[in-house]
Amino acid sequence: MKSHTDCISCVVAKANSLADKYITDKNKKHAFMKNVLKEIVDIEFERTAPYLVAKVMRLLREETGIEDIYYEEKQFFTKKLMKLEDEIEKIVDTSEDRILNGLKIALAGNIIDFGVFDDVDYEFVKKVIDEAFHVQFKEQTLLDFKKSLERSKKLLYIGDNTGEIVFDKIFIKKIRDEYPDLEIHFAVRGEPILNDSTSEDALMVGMDKYAKILSSGSDLPGTDLLEVSDEFRRIFDESDLVLSKGQGNFESLPGCCHNVYYLLLCKCDLLTRQLSCDKLSPVFMHEDDAANIF
């Protein structure tokens, strides 16, 4: 999705919020925000919102010297959600359709997003998990996804946020149980950006026991095929099926003309208008439908 004017105002607001937190000197903050606006002025129309976010976060990293802005929050939610892992997996295992409930759990984890929310309360996360089991996906989309799983030899699962990947792991475990011969790659960001997951985060939750961890080679909080590494692009092209988690990937990947399914909670006003849905509504759609939106 090209950077819309709504995306620009959102990025500026986020930059200002982070500057208030990490840049105490008023003159330095003023200079930082001027540089942010310069980046926005110069960005090409065709580039995506995650590309713009990455450019702004690079400026913040240069100004503050902090490589991982949300390190403490990421650690907090990862440890908290790992404590819920056994309890949630038991619920998934007692269901008649473990793939469906695994999909719902993976969806619920997408609420943990400090790129959108300045704070995410742990009790709110638990509430979203409870509500996720009542989500109804489009029957045909779900059927087509299951058929793709049955036919595929290689699955690329593109992750999103730290903490959330605990539930991605649960889902991947269920997929492996059903399709033991399926080769699964789990993609993470190449460098810390917002609270998106990196290889370090994926290893922390034990993702490597169930999938091959793949770095995007990029610091974008999304999947821009112009920015990813050659290895990522090769795996992407070789995969029979791609499951893309989160809004950042949804903002950057549609139009790739590949067998991609997008799974996310709709978190911004622009997308709620484009999808004609309420904020935090579940989205599960195929690339064919997503490409038509953008």
Name which residue leads in pLDDT, 275 or 55.
Answer: 55
pLDDT reading at 113 higher than 70 = no
User: What is the band of 115 on the pLDDT scale with cuts at 50, 70, 90?
Assistant: very low
pLDDT reading at 294 higher than 80 = no
Q: How large is the average pLDDT for residues 46-50?
A: 86
pLDDT at residue number 117: 47
- Could you give the strand order of the β-sheet that contains 282-286, starting from the edge strand earlier in sequence? 212-215, 183-188, 154-158, 241-245, 260-265, 282-286
Name which residue leads in pLDDT, 121 or 123.
Answer: 123
Q: Which fold has domain 71-293?
A: Rossmann fold (3.40.50)
Q: State how far the Cα of 159 lies from the Cα of 106, in Å rounded to an integer.
A: 10
Phi and psi, residue 74, nearest 5°: -65, -45
- Map out the domains of the chain as residue ranges: 5-64, 71-293
Q: How large is the average pLDDT for residues 196-225?
A: 96
pLDDT at residue number 30: 96
Q: What is the pTM of this model?
A: 0.92
pLDDT at residue number 2: 54
Q: How large is the average pLDDT for residues 154-175?
A: 95
